[in-house]
Homo-oligomer: A and B are copies of this chain.
Amino acid sequence: MSIKDQWIKTIHELQDSICASLEKCDGKGKFIEESWQRDGGGGGKTRVISNGDVFEKGGVNTSVVYGNVSDTMRKELAIDGVKWFACGLSLVIHPGNPFLPTVHCNYRMFELYNDQDEATDRWFGGGTDLTPYYLIDEDARHFHRTYKDVCDRFDPDFYPAFKNECDEYFVNEHRNRERRGIGGIFYDHQKPDIVKDVNFWINFSKSCGEAFVNAYLPIVEKRRNRPFTESNKVWQEIRRGRYVEFNLLHDRGTIFGLKTNGRTESILMSLPPTVRFEYNHQPQAGSDEDKLLQVCLKPVNWI
Please report A residues at the B interface, Cβ cutoff 8 Å.
Answer: 34, 48, 50, 57, 59, 174-175, 237, 241, 244-245, 248-249, 258, 264-265, 268-269, 271-280
Taking CB atoms, residues of chain B closer than 8 Å to A268 are 245, 277
Whether A279 contacts B241 in the complex (CB less than 8 A), given A249-B248, A258-B249, comes out as no
Q: Do A277 and B275 form a contact, CB below 8 Å, given A174-B264, A248-B244? A: yes
User: Which residues of the partner chain B approach A275 to less than 8 Å between Cβ atoms?
Assistant: 241, 244, 274-277
In the assembly, what is the distance between CA of A249 and CA of B273, in Å?
19
Quickly give the copy total for this chain: 2
The listed residue with most B CB atoms (<10 A of its CB), out of A34, A57, A280, is A280
Residues in B neighbouring A276, C-beta threshold 8 A: 273-275
Other-chain residue from B50, B249, B274, B279 in contact with A48 (beta carbon distance below 8 A): B279
Whether the pair A264, B175 counts as a contact (CB closer than 8 A) is yes
* CB neighbours of A245 from chain B (8 A): 248, 268
* A261 nearest CB neighbor, chain B only: B174
Chain B minimum-CB-distance residue to A50: B279
Chain B residue nearest in CB terms to A257: B174
Whole-angstrom distance between the Cβ of A171 and the nearest chain B Cβ: 13
Q: What is the bound-complex CA distance between A274 and B277, given in angstroms? A: 7
